[in-house]
Amino acid sequence: MPVSLKDVAERAGVSIKTVSNVVNDHPHVTPATRARVQQAIDALGYRPNPTARHLRRGRTGIIALAVPELANPYFAELAEAVIDAAGEHEYTVLLDRTGGRREQEVLASQGFRTRVIDGIILSPFELQDADLAGRSDEVPLVLLGEREYDAPYDHIAIDNVAAARAAVRHLLDLGRTRIAYVGADTDSANRPAELRLAGWRAELTAAGVPAPDSLVVRGKGWGREGGARAMARLLDSGVRPDAVFAFNDLIAIGVLRALHERGLRVPEDVAVVGFDDIAEGRFGAVSLTTVSPDKGAIARLAVASVLGALAGGSGESKGSGRRDLAPGFRLVERESTVGRGEAGRPGVAGVRDQFGGGAGGS
Amino acid sequence: MPVSLKDVAERAGVSIKTVSNVVNDHPHVTPATRARVQQAIDALGYRPNPTARHLRRGRTGIIALAVPELANPYFAELAEAVIDAAGEHEYTVLLDRTGGRREQEVLASQGFRTRVIDGIILSPFELQDADLAGRSDEVPLVLLGEREYDAPYDHIAIDNVAAARAAVRHLLDLGRTRIAYVGADTDSANRPAELRLAGWRAELTAAGVPAPDSLVVRGKGWGREGGARAMARLLDSGVRPDAVFAFNDLIAIGVLRALHERGLRVPEDVAVVGFDDIAEGRFGAVSLTTVSPDKGAIARLAVASVLGALAGGSGESKGSGRRDLAPGFRLVERESTVGRGEAGRPGVAGVRDQFGGGAGGS
DNA sequence: GTCGGTCTGTACAACGTTGCAAATGCAGCA
DNA sequence: TGCTGCATTTGCAACGTTGTACAGACCGAC
């Protein structure tokens, strides 16, 4: 039923190859021939079969994006940005979801879960360095996010330590001194690798403010519920912070909920800063101050990295060196730290700082 | 670099076809041969090339899911469900985003945006009946959601009118009588087709409660901001509802925000019901009562419909008749209607009703 | 001992496309 | 007129896989 080059060629009275040439805009085709072929194409409604084309070319035009879960709006928003960025290069995006589980991340990193792809953009959560060591380098890989690896793959993330420090700095500037950190629950092996926690500690230490472990708490998972429970546990333990810096916005939203249930006012009693700048944070009863990564830039860099590897190193990609690409971020101040009157209407809150992006060598 | 059947065949000293037979578990292969081939496969690390396989078989193993936007958590959650359902049949999902724009939806419905696919699951927003008329039926199509079409394609949606009536019934049972409807802004041509609005009107009328147009308002788009602005506009117009039924949860969240800004209490002054049961609604300062569609069932039915069309009608699909499949839904009562004390902790609120799903013929 | 049947394995073609090299046609020039 | 050179077009092979048809080996039965 579908129309092939052969059908068009017969109708136009030319060879298959000539039709192919017309379709691919090759030079050296007479305007007359081109017109005749084009007419046949239009008449039959021919469209190239991408599968055959890809078999021939060795490329599929698809890149996989593997994220922990789409239900986390940060990843949904990031996915939209990646779809846009890929679209600009006429690539489509196959979405994969790892659940943040290590074994799924390993499979995704090797392209086992989605074999019809030219490249992989992976946002790992529990993946270990060792998991990447055994990888065959047939398919280009780019890593996103806070976790850092030694493996020779491009890594794209905002400067997490600097971003965390900016958030904590903001809280210090507001006069807060008992600033808690509510983190995500990851495999225990990863804990030392939490850059945002490191930033929290560094900024407090630099300011001469105590950063005791009693102010650090983690929820189960990285969602709203985990944040709420962790915050409740912190309050139950008798600790009474005057500010919270959360690993991400979802956790921060859970924190807001827990504070609300205890009758604590935000920001009067406790100021809260999140991380990710998801849309949800702008529309709660108390809009959320947050670190806003430049998602568009992250997506564009990721896609460019994959396509660059495809275009450049054919086989020689191994050891071609990794790059650390750091897009910019902003600290967006909203009601959860500066209050209603000062922050103004949601969505138009003040932006404190613009931290430019840049690439640091490895 | 990649290993092909040919390489394996050479190493094992058999023909290419025999290797293929082993890979595909064909019968009539001697255990000895099978073992020898398997050994070669393992040694070389052979994995089938899906592109070639798909060229041969005419199937790609990929289905497209086209939604208005992933930033709407309903669609993100639905996408996860579809990925799961497709995965059970060893299919992968290519995510497309239409932005809710009619032209993009037309392209998606025809598979122009993503040609490497076996089927399309489309959740349309502004698509018109006429847009489907000219469609070539090469690729199976399933439609999701509130909008209804005459075209001969399976349509999967909960019973929107019944769901809306259940939501309004709940508000009436609470003694509310001035129940506003806050809708989504669609192409004006579609407005009569809003089933949820029809349900609102029907339930009010059946209860002998007035349903004036002054209680109906629409925001721009279908997001939080549109909901907030629409609600603000409604209040500015002097109308003072004691309850709101919103087209979806995002709009309802915008409504909550607008009410909060005006100092109106929820649910004491105004009770609010949303639609979709997104996770976000469970964790606001006031958790949201909502209609909860069975997303898993929707996803499973959609995938089954596409795969069924692939397996069954080869070319004869046209006119093979459409089905209307209606998965179940529940009304989940939370703080935005029944208050804090009664609703209990977020996420564990009471479920009022379970409305079973079923398929109604066309 | 021959025949028919079953079981294994193979050769070939095809899916629809594109790169390569060769073939055709045409104009210009000696 | 015949040749060269270029623009245009074509045929062939190949990408990696699988369906079909068939060849050979082996078995038991007459």
Contact present, A282 and A252 (Cβ < 8 Å): no
Q: Looking at the DSSP assignment, which residues form a beta bridge with residue A94?
A: A64, B94
- Distance, Å, A204 CA → C17 C1': 62
d(CA A298, CA A327): 6
Domains of chain A, CATH where assigned = 59-158+295-326 (3.40.50.2300), 160-293+328-360 (3.40.50.2300)
Q: What is the DSSP string of B146-200?
A: S----SSSEEE---HHHHHHHHHHHHHHTT---EEEEE----GGGGGG-HHHHHH
Q: Are A71 and B73 inside 8 Å of each other by CB?
A: yes
pLDDT at B250 over 90: yes
d(CA B146, CA B136): 24
Contact present, A144 and A157 (Cβ < 8 Å): yes
Minimum distance, in Å, between the CA of residue B76 and any CA atom of chain A: 6
Q: Are A283 and B253 inside 8 Å of each other by CB?
A: yes
Provide mean pLDDT across the span B37-48.
91
pLDDT in tens, A71-94: 999 999 999 999 999 988 888 899
Question: If pLDDT is split at 50, 70 and 90, which confidence band does B171 have?
Answer: very high
Is B2's CB less than 7 Å from nucleic acid strand D? yes
pLDDT at A241: 97
d(CA A74, CA B70): 10
d(CA A282, CA B284): 12
Contact present, A159 and A222 (Cβ < 8 Å): no
pLDDT in tens, B264-277: 999 999 999 999 99
Question: If pLDDT is split at 50, 70 and 90, which confidence band does B321 have?
Answer: low
Q: Which helix (H) or strand (E) segment is B201 a member of?
A: helix B195-206
φ/ψ region of A175 (left if φ > 0, alpha if ψ in -120 to 50, else beta) reads: left
pLDDT at B344: 45
d(CA B160, CA B157): 7
Q: Are A254 and B77 inside 8 Å of each other by CB?
A: no
Q: Are A51 and B51 inside 8 Å of each other by CB?
A: yes
CA A305 and chain centroid, separation: 14
pTM here? 0.88
Check residues B243 and B146 and name the one with the higher pLDDT: B243
- B70 interaction partners in chain A (CB closer than 8 Å): 70, 76-77, 79-80
In sequence order, the 6+-apart residues with CB closer than 8 A to the CB of B246 are: B181, B182, B183, B227, B252, B255, B272, B273, B274, B275
Weakest-pLDDT range from A39-48, B218-227, B336-345: B336-345
Select from A85, A105, A101 the least CA-distant residue to A93: A85
pLDDT at A154: 94
Provide mean pLDDT across the span B66-95.
92
Directed axis angle between helix A31-44 and helix A16-23, to 10°?
A: 90
Side-chain half-sphere exposure of A350, counting CA atoms within 13 A: 14
In sequence order, the 6+-apart residues with CB closer than 8 A to the CB of B272 are: B243, B244, B246, B252, B255, B256, B259, B266, B288, B289, B336, B337
Question: If pLDDT is split at 50, 70 and 90, which confidence band does A134 have?
Answer: confident
Select from A157, A149, A142, A110 the least CA-distant residue to A126: A149
d(CA B299, CA B121): 9
Task: Give the tokens for residue B201.
Answer: 């009107």
pLDDT at A100: 87
Contact present, B164 and B200 (Cβ < 8 Å): yes
Question: If pLDDT is split at 50, 70 and 90, which confidence band does B165 have?
Answer: very high
Question: If pLDDT is split at 50, 70 and 90, which confidence band does B183 have?
Answer: very high
d(CA A183, CA A160): 14
d(CA A150, CA A159): 17
pLDDT in tens, B109-133: 887 766 688 999 999 988 888 889 8
Contact present, A274 and A267 (Cβ < 8 Å): no
Length of chain A: 362
3-state secondary structure string across chain A: CCCCHHHHHHHHCCCHHHHHHHHCCCCCCCHHHHHHHHHHHHHHCCCCCHHHHHHHHCCCCEEEEEECCCCCHHHHHHHHHHHHHHHHCCCEEEEEECCCCHHHHHHHHHCCCCCCCCEEEECCCCCCHHHHHCCCCCCCEEEECCCCCCCCCEEECCCHHHHHHHHHHHHHHCCCCCEEEEECCCCHHHHHHCHHHHHHHHHHHHCCCCCCHHHEEECCCCCHHHHHHHHHHHHHCCCCCCEEEECCHHHHHHHHHHHHHCCCCCCCCCEEEEECCCHHHHCCCCCCEEEEECHHHHHHHHHHHHHHHHHCCCCCCCCCCCCEEECCEEEECCHHHHHHHHHCCCCCCCEEEEECCEEECC
Most confident of A102-111, B1-10, B273-282: B273-282
pLDDT at A361: 38
- B289-293 vs B329-332, strand pairing mode: antiparallel
pLDDT at A275: 97
List Cα–Cα distances, B52 to A57, A58, A314, B59, in angstroms.
11, 10, 21, 10
pLDDT at A67: 94
Percentage with pLDDT > 70 across chain A: 88
Q: Which residue in the set A51, A94, A225 is minimally distant from B347, CB to CB?
A: A225
Provide mean pLDDT across the span A233-237.
95
Length of chain B: 362
Q: Which helix (H) or strand (E) segment is B64 a member of?
A: strand B62-67
Select from A74, A70, A68, A6 the least CA-distant residue to A37: A6
Check residues B312 and A148 and name the one with the higher pLDDT: A148
Task: Give the tokens for residue B311.
Answer: 């397996």
Minimum distance, in Å, between the CA of residue B133 and any CA atom of chain A: 16
Is A49's CB less than 7 Å from nucleic acid strand D? no
Contact present, B124 and B145 (Cβ < 8 Å): yes
d(CA A108, CA A137): 13
Give residues 9-38 of chain A lying near strand C (Cβ < 7 A): 16-17, 20, 23-24
- A95 interaction partners in chain B (CB closer than 8 Å): 79, 83, 93-95
Contact present, B4 and B53 (Cβ < 8 Å): no
d(CA B191, CA B179): 19
Identify from A95, A249, A257 which residue to disrupt to test chain B contact, counting B C-beta atoms within 10 A and taking the largest count: A95
- A223 interaction partners in chain B (CB closer than 8 Å): 279
Strands of the sheet containing B289-293, edge to edge, are B216-218, B179-183, B243-246, B271-275, B289-293, B329-332, B351-355
pLDDT in tens, A311-359: 765 444 444 468 899 999 999 999 999 977 654 444 434 454 445 444 4
Question: If pLDDT is split at 50, 70 and 90, which confidence band does B350 have?
Answer: very low
pLDDT at B355 over 60: no
Is A15's CB less than 7 Å from nucleic acid strand D? yes
- B83 interaction partners in chain A (CB closer than 8 Å): 95-97
CA angle A344, A253, A126 (to 5 degrees): 130
d(CA A104, CA A106): 5
Amino acid at position A177, single letter: T
Percentage with pLDDT > 90 across chain A: 60
Select from B295, B331, B292 the least CA-distant residue to B168: B331
Question: If pLDDT is split at 50, 70 and 90, which confidence band does B313 have?
Answer: low
Question: If pLDDT is split at 50, 70 and 90, which confidence band does A185 have?
Answer: confident
d(CA B41, CA B112): 38
Specify burial of residue B28 (Cβ count, 10 A radius: 0-12, 13-18, 19+): exposed
Weakest-pLDDT range from A8-12, A139-143, A293-297, B131-135: B131-135
Contact present, B160 and B196 (Cβ < 8 Å): yes
Check residues B71 and B349 and name the one with the higher pLDDT: B71
Select from B98, B118, B119 the least CA-distant residue to B108: B98
- By three-state DSSP, how is residue B274 classified? strand
Q: Are B94 and A97 inside 8 Å of each other by CB?
A: no
